[in-house]
């Protein structure tokens, strides 16, 4: 019971604090449209900043994907070179073994 009373009192204090924020807007002597313009400008600036961050992240992703594709290609080329060298080695080994047994 005491806990529920405490919760109700806390809710009441929170509601008064929220309402006082709106009252402050009305009491500060600045027209509401000025407050709205300031909020709109703040929103637009933050939106522009976030869009720029998103674009930078997309550019980073594209650059990383291109780099990864280049590395995959290099790995394929190196694997093919390795297979060729390994085949040559096996052929030379077989040839030298057969020459030794003659």
pLDDT of the residue at 35: 78
> Do 32 and 25 form a contact (C-beta atoms < 8 A)?
yes
Q: How confident is the model at residue 99 (pLDDT cuts 50, 70, 90)?
A: confident
Listed by start position, the domains of the chain span 1-30, 31-102
> Do 46 and 39 form a contact (C-beta atoms < 8 A)?
no
Q: How confident is the model at residue 25 (pLDDT cuts 50, 70, 90)?
A: low
Q: How confident is the model at residue 15 (pLDDT cuts 50, 70, 90)?
A: confident
Task: Tell me the C-alpha distance between 23 and 95, whole Å.
Answer: 96
Whether the per-residue pLDDT at 72 is higher than 80: the answer is: yes
Task: Tell me the C-alpha distance between 33 and 44, whole Å.
Answer: 16
């Amino acid at each position: 019971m005491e806990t529920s009373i405490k919760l109700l009192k806390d809710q009441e204090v929170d509601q008064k604090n929220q309402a006082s924020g709106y009252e402050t807007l009305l009491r500060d002597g600045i027209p509401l449209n000025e407050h709205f313009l300031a909020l709109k400008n703040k929103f637009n600036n933050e939106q522009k900043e976030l869009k720029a961050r998103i674009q930078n992240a997309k550019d980073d992703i594209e650059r990383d994907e291109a780099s990864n594709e280049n590395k995959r290609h290099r790995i394929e080329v190196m694997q093919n070179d390795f297979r060729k060298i390994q085949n040559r080695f096996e052929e030379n080994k077989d040839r030298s073994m057969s020459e030794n047994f003659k």
